[in-house]
Amino acid sequence: MTTTSTPPRKRLFIRTWGCQMNVYDSGRMADVLAPIGYAPAETPDGADMVILNTCHIREKATEKLFSELGRLREAKATKRAAGGEMVLAVAGCVAQAEGAEITARAPWVDIVLGPQTYHKLPEMVARASRAAGAVIECDFPAEDKFDHLPDAAAPPGVTAFLTVQEGCDKFCSFCVVPYTRGAEFSRPVAGVLAEARRLVSAGAREISLLGQNVNAYHGEGPDGRSWGLGRLLRALAEIPGLRRLRYTTSHPRDVDDDLIAAHRELPQLMPFLHLPVQSGSDRVLAAMNRGHTADDFLRIADRLREARPDLAFSSDFIAGHPGETTAEFEQTMVLVRRVGFAQAYSFKYSARPGTPAAGAPHQVPEAEKDARLQALQALLRDQQDAFNRSRVGMTFPVLFTGPGRHAGQVAGRTPWLQPLHLSGQLGLVGTEASVTVLAAHPNSLSGLLAAGRDADNVQPAEEPAPA
C-alpha cells in the first residue's frame, strides 16, 4: 500500500512599513502566495521567502531599507548553507521609486515590485527561480490588479481594512505618492461590496476603507454611473453584521455635500475623521499645492461637526515647509487651537527626491524645523490628553477586538478610535458593549462594563450576509 504525505508548507515573512494601505497590501500579498504553498511566519529566520513592503513617506526610508537588506543578506546565506533558498523581495513605494537601483546596490535581492503589480507575485517567484538575475516589476499595468486577486486566505479579525481607491492626482509639492502609486483609480462598487461581505462573513465587525485620496472615490456602480464615497458608505451600511465603518485618508478638496450627509445619517459611520490640513498658512498651502485655504478647512470642519456634533478630528501637519516663516508657522498653531484635534500626526519637512519642494529656495534650517515641530507636538499632545480626559465618566459602545496587553485584560476601540481596556470579560471579543470610562491614560482609556449590562448594551455578532 502506498501513502502520500502533504508537502511541507513554505514559510513567508512580510515586514511592513508605513500606512494602513501597506498593511492591506501585505495581507493581499500573503493571499496571493498562499495557493503556491506559502504560509505566514512570525520571523524572517529560516523563512523561504521574505518581503519588505516599504513606504517612501517616512524619513530616511531608503536608508532603512538597505540597512534591513544588509541583515537579510546574512540570513539568506545561512539558509543557503543549510541546503535551502530564501527568495528576497522588496515591494511598495520605495521599490517603485528606486527600481533597478535596489538590485544594483543589493544584488542578493531576487524581486523588486511596485504596489500595482503584487498580483503577479506567483509568476515573479517562478521567474526568479529560473532567472540568473533579479525580476523587476515596477510598471503601472493597464489591468486592474483587484480583478486578479484571490479571496482572502486568512480570517480578518474583528476589524479589517478594505482598499477602495489608490493613487493620487493632487501632486502636493512635498509628496511622492503620485509618482509611486500612480493616478487615482477607484474600484468598481460591486467588487468593494463583495469583498466587504466576505470580510463580514469571516468575522469582521468594523471595516476601514482605504485610499490615498479615499474621498475622491468615484467607482462604477451597478447602475453604470459613478458613485461617490457617501453613496458607497450607504451601500456598505446595509450589510448585515457590519457594525462600524471608517475611512482614511481623505482630502479637504474632496469633502462633498453627500459625504457630509452620510456622517449625519449613518450610525455605522464612526464619529472620527482623519482630514489632513498640513498648514494653517494660506501662502504655505499654496506653495504645497494643496488646493484649499485655511478658511476652507475650517468651514468644512464646522459643517461636519454640525452634521455630527460628536465628531472628532485627526490631521497631518508639516513644520518647516520651504519658505515657511515664523509668522506662518504661528498661523498653523492658531488653526490647531481653533479646531481642536483628538489625535494628529506631525512631522518636520523632509525633502523627497524628485518632488518640487525638494529643490525649492529658502529651505528652513534644521534647528528651526526642530523647534517648530516640538512646539506643535506639545500643543497637539495637550489637545489629545484633554480629549481623552473628556471621555472619563461617559458611557458609550466599545467594539472589543482581542486580549489586552496585560494578562486578564480585554481590549477594544471606542467610536473615536481610542484603545480601551478593561479587566476580564474575554468573552466580549467580537461584540460591542456599553462601557463607562473610569480613567484616561497617555495612549488609552480604561473602563468598566456599564451598570445593568443586558442584551440592550451587549450586541453579539449578527448573522452575516452570505459571501
Q: Which residues make up each annotated binding site for [4Fe-4S] cluster?
A: 19, 55, 93, 168, 172, 175
Q: What is the DSSP string of 201-238?
A: HTT--EEEEE-TTGGG--EEPTTSSEE-HHHHHHHHHT
DSSP letter at 269? B
Taking Cα atoms as reference points, which of 225, 298, 314, 302 lies closest to residue 260? 302
Name the strands in the sheet holding 10-16, side by side, starting at the edge strand that comes first in the sequence: 38-40, 10-16, 49-54, 87-92, 111-113, 135-137
Cα within 13 Å of Cα(368), Cβ side:
13
Question: Cell 472628532 sits at which residue?
Answer: 312
Q: What is the 3 state secondary structure string of 113-149?
A: ECCCCHHHHHHHHHHHHHCCCCEEECCCCCCCHHHHC
Q: 289: which 3 cell numbers?
A: 499645492
Annotation: binding site: 19, 55, 93, 168, 172, 175
Return the number of other C-beta atoms located less than 10 Å from residue 371's C-beta: 16
Residue type, 101: E
Q: Are 181 and 133 in contact, with CB atoms under 8 Å apart?
A: no
Question: Cell 543557503 sits at which residue?
Answer: 80
Q: 441: which 3 cell numbers?
A: 491614560
DSSP letter at 399? E
